[in-house]
Amino acid sequence: MNDKNISKKIIYWYDNNRRFLPWRKKVSKKQKEYFTLVSEFMLQQTQVKTVIPYFINFIKTIPNLKTLSRVKNETLMRSWEGLGYYSRAKNLKKTAIKIIKDHNGRLPKSIDELKNLPGIGDYTSKAIMAIAFNKKIIPLDGNVERILKRVFYLRKEDEISKEYLNSKIHFFGSSSRASDYAQAIMEIGALVCKPNNPLCIKCPISFNCISFKKNDFTIKTKIKFNKTKYFEAQIYQDNDKYLLIRNNKFNFLKNMPIFPMNEVEKKKYKYSNNKKINIKLSNMDMKIILNKVYKLPNIKNKILLNRTQTKSIILPSFTKKIFSSISKI
């Protein structure tokens, strides 16, 4: 089957099966750029299902790029609260400010210029070029990767590198409806070529798929090792109030309120008799000793909160998890 037939089949499938997603709503070109920018930032590290309500709420509060460039940080964080990876929200605002200042309020139309904006890397710049500007580019997200691995039955370690997969992307050919086409391929990955139990019977490219012919759908993935690190958190309590500080010490959760803590040796963690909890961040397994202290230290910039007040301030789920463990100490 030639490229043209593959793209026809994929577009036909998309027209009949696509999900309604709020960022796919028909809007003006300018608004489409904004919707794409916001949704692509939110979709970095987060699944579509989770992003939908956040996107709807975000657009209600911050309806366009100009508003985003001027929004108060408090409102921005409120609109992002619960999505995690808060640096994305901060970068999104910085990007909006830069677009207003340097690009006349419109997203730049080249990969290089897009990559110069805060929080936009190779994948996001390609996704914006394809989705917002209808350029014939297919960004390699996890869904597209999975389809390629199965279509070509890629098994060897050197065949699952980004470079190799990108070299195989020509399989899909192209379509003049480039924006829909890129989304169609990602959508097939999400709805049909699922990680477990792919629905090949509904797949428009099953005819070209080696995994389908072999009836073997296992996926080779690179093994990712999370680092385990050990910490001791100080739970300072004064009556019903607990002490938090803004984090300017660790590279994760920068400037967010956290309990004061230090990294410690594994040995200290192992022999401590205090309560311990585990928290997973994207690239780190944290093992934390919770050390309760009843005398408040004399430190600057302290934030004192009781449990009720924790609901009125933006806290990362990391800090909320520790809060919920405290009652059991």
Give the residue numbers annotated as catalytic, written as ranges. 40
By beta-carbon proximity to ligand SF4, the closer residue of 59 and 193 is 193
Strand (E) or helix (H) holding 322 = helix 317-326
10 lines the binding site for ligand SF4 (CB under 6 A):
no
169 lines the binding site for ligand SF4 (CB under 6 A):
no
143 lines the binding site for ligand SF4 (CB under 6 A):
no
Strand (E) or helix (H) holding 4 = helix 3-17
By beta-carbon proximity to ligand SF4, the closer residue of 9 and 32 is 9
Residues in CB range of 124: below 8 A, 6 or more apart = 40, 41, 44, 114
Quote the least distance from Cβ 189 to ligand SF4, whole Å. Answer: 8
Quote the least distance from Cβ 273 to ligand SF4, whole Å. Answer: 52
Distance in angstroms (rounded) separating the CA atoms of residues 197 and 22:
27
By beta-carbon proximity to ligand SF4, the closer residue of 153 and 323 is 153
Q: Which listed range, 33-41, 195-203, 242-250, 258-266, lies at the site for ligand SF4 (CB under 6 A)?
A: 195-203
The single-letter DSSP state of residue 202 is G
Q: What is the dihedral of CA 153, 157, 163, 164, to 10 degrees?
A: -30
Exactly one of 100, 111, 160, 200 binds ligand SF4 (CB under 6 A); which one? 200
258 lines the binding site for ligand SF4 (CB under 6 A):
no
φ/ψ of residue 290, rounded to 5: -100, 115
By beta-carbon proximity to ligand SF4, the closer residue of 19 and 266 is 19
Distance (Å) of CA 102 to CA 94, 97, 117, 161, 254? 12, 8, 10, 35, 27
192 lines the binding site for ligand SF4 (CB under 6 A):
yes
85 lines the binding site for ligand SF4 (CB under 6 A):
no
Q: In 3D, which of 145, 95, 134 has the Cα closest to residue 115?
A: 95
Site string for ligand SF4, 14-53 (x = CB under 6 A): ----------------------------------------
Distance in angstroms (rounded) separating the CA atoms of residues 246 and 223:
34
Q: Which listed range, 38-46, 95-103, 160-168, 202-210, lies at the site for ligand SF4 (CB under 6 A)?
A: 202-210
By beta-carbon proximity to ligand SF4, the closer residue of 151 and 315 is 151
State both tokens at 15.
């027209």
Residues 329 and 235: beta-carbon distance below 8 Å: yes
Residue in the structure block whose two tokens are 């500080």: 245
Helix, strand or coil, per DSSP, at residue 258 = strand
Binding site for ligand SF4 (CB under 6 A): 147, 150-151, 192-193, 198, 200, 203, 205-206, 209, 211-212, 217
